[in-house]
Amino acid sequence: MTTPAFCDYCQALKPIDGVADHFQLLGLPRRFDVDARALHDHYIALSRHAHPDYHVDDAEEVRALSMAVSAGVNAAYRTLSDPVRRASYLLELLGGASSAEDKSVPDGFLETTMLMQEELGEARTAGDDKELARLRAVLRTQQGGLMKRVAGLFAELDQAVGCEGARRDLLGEIRKRLNAVAYVRKLLSQTQTE
């Protein structure tokens, strides 16, 4: 595995300050559709090599570097192992707007969300666990559909390399879907019973 975190020849740890992104750090191609097994395997290999426990007898600067690299590897894995975080991270790497910069959602989504929120409120007030479970299933299906569309948009984006206008439109559509996923996640958290 090639990674900027350590030397390919001598395996010594290297500073990761200049690493372009999480994909590069973990030695993966920069794309939404990642191989989960490869991601996990790369993470484990890097974690083992960089973990501070393996450098307790090394010089202070090596121990400090180990902690920095280990923290960077953990942050990269947390981001890339979650499809929603990975999508948002990749979107911004590709020049798309962050959720703070663009709060738009797909047409009609807010109306649907408001209705769902009312249904959730009624079910929670009534203590209707069966209805909460039904709403949870609906929301999970909705989230799955949104993420499937995000994956499709990223695939389209890979094909739209020649047209900047199409690329910008696709980045905007991805942001809308990810913003919608954030709403759905919030609603899902309201379906949990105590």
pLDDT tens digits, 39-51: 999 999 888 888 8
pLDDT beyond 70 at 1: no
pLDDT tens string 91-112 = 999 999 999 999 999 999 999 9
CB contact set of 71 (below 8 Å; sequence gap of 6+): none
Considering the domain boundaries, does residue 59 fall inside one? yes
Please, what is the average pLDDT of the chain? 90
Q: What is the mean pLDDT of residues 147-155?
A: 97
Is residue 121 situated within a structural domain? yes
Which of 49-53, 54-58, 128-132 shows the highest mean pLDDT?
128-132
Half-sphere CA count of 102, side-chain side, radius 13 A: 20
Whether the model pTM is above 0.85: yes
Residue 13: strand, helix, or coil: strand
Does residue 17 sit within a domain? no
Total residues found in the chain within this entry: 194
Domain residue limits at 37: 22-81
pLDDT band at 193; cut points 50, 70, 90: low
- Amino acid letter at 65? L
What is the pLDDT averaged over residues 150-168? Answer: 88
Query: Where does a domain end: 81, 101, 118?
Result: 81
pLDDT value, residue 88? 97
Same-domain status, 114 and 182: yes
d(CA 14, CA 68): 10
Q: What confidence tens digit (pLDDT) does each residue in 169-189 have?
A: 999 999 999 999 999 999 999
Note whether residue 14 is domain-resident. no
Specify the pLDDT at position 123. 95
166 domain residue, yes or no: yes
Residues 116 and 179 in one domain: yes
Determine the pLDDT at residue 145: 97
First-to-last alpha carbon distance for the chain, in angstroms, is: 45
The CATH number of whichever domain residue 30 belongs to comes to 1.10.287.110
Nearest to 119, CA basis, from 140, 105, 136, 107: 136
Phi, psi at residue 13, to the nearest 5°? -65, 145
